[in-house]
Amino acid sequence: MNTIQILFSLSANFRWCIQQYDVKNAFLYGELEEEVFKDPPPGFSHSLLPNQVYRLKKTLYGLKQSPRAWFERFTQAMISMGYQQSQEDHTLFIKHFISGRVTILIVYIDDIIITGDDLKERDIIRKRLSAKFEIKELGKLKYFLGIEVTHSEKGIFISQHKYILDLLKETKMVDYKPHETPIDLKHILDNDEEGVTTDKGQYQRLVGKLIYSAHTRPDIAYTMSVVSQFMHNPKDLHLQAVYRLLRYLKSTP
């Protein structure tokens, strides 16, 4: 996420266009290094004898090896086109030119975004990727990793409107009354040793999703730092603080 935010910042300040692409059936491009066998799919007419299975030549969706195999194939393709893989974030690929221009690509599973100040190179890489994989051009970046992106002459506006609404639906908080502040201004949240224990797994999942929404919501950063302190032994008091935050997000999605 830090890499994505840096790309947004660069694009806004240098007025670079951010293009988005999708790789169709990405995992099917992965090459298997191990021998993997599977039963025939149900209902598939085949000539195999009883107790015989198929040996896979390529990866399939559902295999644990598939994401790694696909990414290795994609990395090889990018390096062959003269791009350098970042050692800080392996999903980031950069190509510098003698002229000083630069093209940057980042991939998340089958979603690709490309930016930079070399328009000619952006067109070349699109064509070369299309020759290796089935690529769908999605135009200017609008939605990536749960973040909505709006472009204007003043720069880039990012939000997680849909992400927050989906979270409210998931927690059944849609019909609850909104709150004006994310946390009680005079709150006293401690370990509450005598309090009622709540579901630890549920609390951790909910707080984790809220932490993700804080990437575009600095107004909830303090509240998140408070409720995150009780992940190891959450009580009902802490859960109520999280619900209050959700009610605040409902008023400002």
Please report, for the domain that includes residue 136, its CATH number: 3.30.70
| Same domain for 184 and 124 | no
pTM of the model: 0.79
| Same domain for 167 and 105 | no
**Per-residue pLDDT at 46:** 66
| Same domain for 136 and 49 | yes
**Per-residue pLDDT at 47:** 66
User: What's the domain count of the chain?
Assistant: 2
Q: Which of 101, 126, 158 is the last residue of a domain?
A: 158
| Same domain for 187 and 130 | no
Q: Which of 133, 158, 183 is the last residue of a domain?
A: 158
| Same domain for 205 and 115 | no
Q: Which of 110, 128, 158 is the last residue of a domain?
A: 158
Q: pLDDT means per 10 residues in the chain (253 residues)?
A: 90 91 89 82 70 81 84 94 94 92 93 92 92 92 91 88 92 89 84 84 92 90 92 90 93 89
**Per-residue pLDDT at 44:** 72
**Per-residue pLDDT at 90:** 94
Three-class secondary structure assignment of the chain: CHHHHHHHHHHHHHCCCCEEEEECCHHHHCECCCCCEECCCCCCCCCCCCCCCEECCECCCCCCCHHHHHHHHHHHHHHHCCCEECCCCCCEEEEECCCCCEEEEEEECCEEEEEECCHHHHHHHHHHHHHHCCEEEEEECCEECCEEEEEECCEEEEECHHHHHHHHHHCCCCCCCCCCCCCCCCCCCCCCCCCCECCHHHHHHHHHHHHHHCCCCHHHHHHHHHHHHHCCCCEHHHHHHHHHHHHHHHHCC
**Per-residue pLDDT at 99:** 86
**Per-residue pLDDT at 1:** 85
| Same domain for 138 and 179 | no
Range of the domain at 91: 2-158
